[in-house]
Chains A and B, each alone.
Chain A
Amino acid sequence: MESLTLKYFGYFIGIGCILTPLAGMLASWVDRKVTARVQWRVGPPLLQPFWDFVKLLGKETVVPRGSARTVFLMAPLLGFSAVALVSTILWSTIVHPETGFVGDLIVVLYLLMIPSMAVILGGFASKNPIASLGASREMKLILGYELPFILACLVAVIHTEGSIRLGEIIIYQNPETYGPVGAKLSGILAIIVCVMVVQAKLTCVPFDIPEAETEIMSGPFVEYSGPPLAVYKLTRMMMLITLPVFLVILFLGGMHFQGWAILWSILKVLLFLVLVTLIRNTNPRVRIDQAVRFFWGPMTVIAVAAVILALTGN
């Protein structure tokens, strides 16, 4: 038992706290480079996200007067540890689909919400009206996108005969037997919903209402500086790789690392990543009421339709 605990702790440190941040920095670079190319620019060098992170670590930490000091400083760590845990679960299921525990899908869904919660906590703790405004917008956004997101994830569960274990979902989507969920009509609808939700979870442009740089100056982060800000940025970068991987597991049959399959796996993740980047570069920002209406209206309807289609086997 003890050795098992030790093994999982090792996974957490190795995969969650070292490999995923590196992968996240790479994803962030891809995101910025694609953005730059879309805008006809050259874009940042490969190591840019790394330098940003190191630089922020070396800066002074300013804690605003009158803020809730402990919460202010702990909130970034909360978000970081949640994403690190999620990525550990996801990667270890990808490598060993037969391990994992019943209900890890639900755990992952919960944990994926915590980074947003951390942003809200940090925003409210920093005693800045702009940060509070951003945090309250983030809260409304969460209320908006959680429902369609869970419905869309349900589609994969229904297709794999009600399995709520990520490993089983991957095994079930083996191309020789059942094929990926994303190849079904309901799967396609669910992917559309999920990509929109990922956009909102990452607070990328059509839904960057909580951060709105030109309007409320990066919202909840406005008072953050130095290492806490670095942790927030790192969390964001890790989400940038974790969410596409999660979607690949649910809808495109996971990733495989034997021979040429590795290339195909990377392509699948890149597909979602570049899709998110392109959407964020070609859309204007919406208002918070429009965003909530969008998620509760069309997106929920599409998600429900996908669930019904999945139940009838399409």
Chain B
Amino acid sequence: MNLKMKALTKSPWVYHLSTGSCNNCDIEILDCLTPRFDLERFGIQLVGSPRHADALLVTGNMTLKSMPRALEVYNQMPKPGVVIAIGTCSLGHGIFDGSYICPKTVDEVLPVDIYIPGCPPKPEAIIAGVAKLLNKLAGK
């Protein structure tokens, strides 16, 4: 494994992108950063600009309006970077299935690397998912 990938797995900075969630998944993400779960142990930080990000945390349905914006944010993220889809909404459509506002799922718009199911997923599930992704990257 090269140094670049290793460094990436040691300090993934995440950018939080909501593409039309009910806000519950977002609260669970913030939960991960609280002292109880303390993601900084793994070097994970929440950053405010997609330019600093190594991972996009996408929550919620991909609505029609947020489709071009999500692509824009993805393109703004410097590569190498990964996309993490969080919540049942972003895996399929969840409770919004059949709605006219979401013709596509998240992974039809962005190249998703890992899916974390749950409505909303528990912080433990999110951490486990991220850890699996890091292992996968480290194995490459």
CB < 8 Å: which of A36, A41, A221 contacts B49? A221
How many whole Å from B14's CB to the nearest CB in chain A?
A: 13
Asked if A48 meets B43 with Cβ closer than 8 Å, knowing A39-B35, A225-B78, A229-B52, the reply is yes
- The residues of A that contact B3 with a CB separation of less than 8 Å are 54, 58
- Is B80 on the interface with A (CB-CB < 8 A)? yes
Q: Are A45 and B78 in contact (CB under 8 A)?
A: no
Query: Could you tell me how many residues of chain B have their Cβ less than 8 Å away from some Cβ of chain A?
Result: 21
Q: Are B43 and A225 in contact (CB under 8 A)?
A: no
Q: Are A55 and B10 in contact (CB under 8 A)?
A: yes
- Is B31 on the interface with A (CB-CB < 8 A)? no
Main secondary structure of the interface of A (DSSP, over half): loop
How many whole Å from A69's CB to the nearest CB in chain B?
A: 16
- The residues of A that contact B54 with a CB separation of less than 8 Å are 55, 59
- Is B48 on the interface with A (CB-CB < 8 A)? yes
- Is B40 on the interface with A (CB-CB < 8 A)? yes
- Is A223 on the interface with B (CB-CB < 8 A)? yes
Q: Contact flags (1/0) for B1-16 with A, using CB distance below 8 Å?
A: 0011001101100000
- The residues of B that contact A45 with a CB separation of less than 8 Å are 41, 43
Q: Are B4 and A36 in contact (CB under 8 A)?
A: no
- Is A100 on the interface with B (CB-CB < 8 A)? no
With A and B bound together, what is the CA distance between A152 and B41 in angstroms? Answer: 39
Q: Are A218 and B43 in contact (CB under 8 A)?
A: no
Q: Contact flags (1/0) for B92-136 with A, using CB distance below 8 Å?
A: 000000000000000000000000000000000000000000000
Q: Are B35 and A218 in contact (CB under 8 A)?
A: no
CB < 8 Å: which of A42, A48, A55, A214 contacts B8? A55
Q: Are A222 and B4 in contact (CB under 8 A)?
A: no
- Is B51 on the interface with A (CB-CB < 8 A)? yes
- Is B71 on the interface with A (CB-CB < 8 A)? no
- The residues of A that contact B79 with a CB separation of less than 8 Å are 59-60
With A and B bound together, what is the CA distance between A72 and B68 in angstroms? Answer: 27
Q: Are A32 and B78 in contact (CB under 8 A)?
A: no
Closest B residue by C-beta to A59: B78
Interface hits, A171-228 → B, CB 8 Å = 213-214, 217-218, 221-226
Asked if A58 meets B40 with Cβ closer than 8 Å, knowing A218-B49, A224-B51, A225-B78, the reply is no
- Is B38 on the interface with A (CB-CB < 8 A)? yes
With A and B bound together, what is the CA distance between A213 and B76 in angstroms? Answer: 18
- Is B47 on the interface with A (CB-CB < 8 A)? yes
Q: Are B41 and A225 in contact (CB under 8 A)?
A: no
Asked if A48 meets B11 with Cβ closer than 8 Å, knowing A58-B4, A62-B76, A226-B78, the reply is yes
Tier of interface size on chain A? 20 to 34
CB < 8 Å: which of B7, B10, B40, B52 contacts A41? B40
Q: Are B43 and A40 in contact (CB under 8 A)?
A: no
Asked if A222 meets B43 with Cβ closer than 8 Å, knowing A55-B8, A60-B79, A62-B76, the reply is no
With A and B bound together, what is the CA distance between A84 and B8 in angstroms? Answer: 27
Q: Are B80 and A59 in contact (CB under 8 A)?
A: yes
Q: Are A223 and B51 in contact (CB under 8 A)?
A: yes
With A and B bound together, what is the CA distance between A55 and B7 in angstroms? Answer: 5
With A and B bound together, what is the CA distance between A221 and B48 in angstroms? Answer: 10
With A and B bound together, what is the CA distance between A224 and B47 in angstroms? Answer: 12
Q: Are A51 and B43 in contact (CB under 8 A)?
A: yes
Q: Are B38 and A225 in contact (CB under 8 A)?
A: no
Q: Are B43 and A44 in contact (CB under 8 A)?
A: yes
With A and B bound together, what is the CA distance between A12 and B54 in angstroms? Answer: 33
Q: Are B40 and A43 in contact (CB under 8 A)?
A: yes
- Is A289 on the interface with B (CB-CB < 8 A)? no
With A and B bound together, what is the CA distance between A171 and B43 in angstroms? Answer: 43
Interface hits, B31-80 → A, CB 8 Å = 35, 38, 40-41, 43, 47-49, 51-52, 54, 76, 78-80
Q: Can you name 21 A-B pairs with beta carbons within 8 Å?
A: A41-B35, A41-B41, A43-B40, A44-B41, A44-B43, A45-B43, A48-B10, A48-B11, A51-B43, A54-B7, A55-B11, A58-B3, A59-B80, A60-B78, A217-B48, A217-B49, A218-B47, A218-B49, A218-B52, A222-B49, A222-B51
